[in-house]
Amino acid sequence: MGKNKLKKFADMATYRCALQYPREVLLAEGFPYQGVWKDEFFHRDGEITLELGCGKGEYTVALAKGNPGRNYIGVDIKGARMWSGARQVEEQQIPNAAFLRTEIENIDKFFAPGEVDEIWITFPDPQMQKTRKRLTSTRFLKMYGKFLRPGGVINLKTDSPFLFEYTKRLAELNGFEIVMITDDLYGSGMADPVSSIKTYYESQWLSRGKKIKLISMRPGSFENLQEPPSDDIERDDYRAYPRHTPGLESF
């Protein structure tokens, strides 16, 4: 492991905004801020927005700076990437941003019912071969339903035609309210100051001429969710930039 990564890990351990909870720590100790994020961590009111798969944290930081009345939490497993956003929050003393380093598979153990108001899923791996690993699958939606407030919105921003179509079908099959949908965010003129924030990966996709897609949905219920058929959805015809580098830390 390079010295630069070791330094980043050391920095992360000192950042108040960076909470690091691998599964073994979570199971052994629990999570102290579940249900009390506003009072005990942020020490301020304001609705809570999660960004799942936050990568370098650009979206979380930009959202927090642009919307000081809300609280934002970026979630990812890769600490060396998350360090960039966490460092900005520490150095600029941004009071309404935090980073949670953990597996998204355990996300429901960090928040109490109704504690989260909105979710952003930004450029996840489309997982074309593994339905249960898609972050908009019924498996994950059931987790989100444990802590997303009634009427809360889930936003997917993606370059993947496959994941966009799959999520659209899932929303329609389960009777979700579609708040916003476009298969060409910037070409449609529908981009606003929030949706037009660009992540590191998004800039890569745009440089390759890929269209950015967005679907914002409001689930009416998380009960009896059904998976849509997806075998007939055309697979993406390009290779994504690698998101998991061989030898990179598992936590």
Q: Which residues are catalytic?
A: 125
Label residue 5 exposed, middle or buried (CB < 10 Å: 0-12, 13-18, 19+). middle
Residue 55: which region, alpha, beta or left (left: phi > 0; alpha: psi -120 to 50)? left
Distances (CA, A) of 249 to 1, 56, 156, 233, 246: 8, 15, 26, 33, 9
Edge-first strand listing for the sheet containing 97-101:
18-20, 97-101, 71-76, 48-52, 116-122, 148-158, 213-218, 177-182
**48-52 and 71-76 strand pairing:** parallel
Separation CA 23–CA 33 (nearest Å): 16
Closest CA to 198 of 189, 207, 145, 115: 207
Q: Which residue in the block uniquely carries the two structure tokens 């998976």? A: 227
Q: What is the rounded distance in angstroms from the CA atom of residue 16 to the CA atom of residue 41?
A: 9
Q: What number of H helices and E strands is found in the chain?
A: 8, 8
Quote the CA–CA distance of 120 and 215 in Å, as a whole number.
10
CB 59 within 8 A of CB 118: no
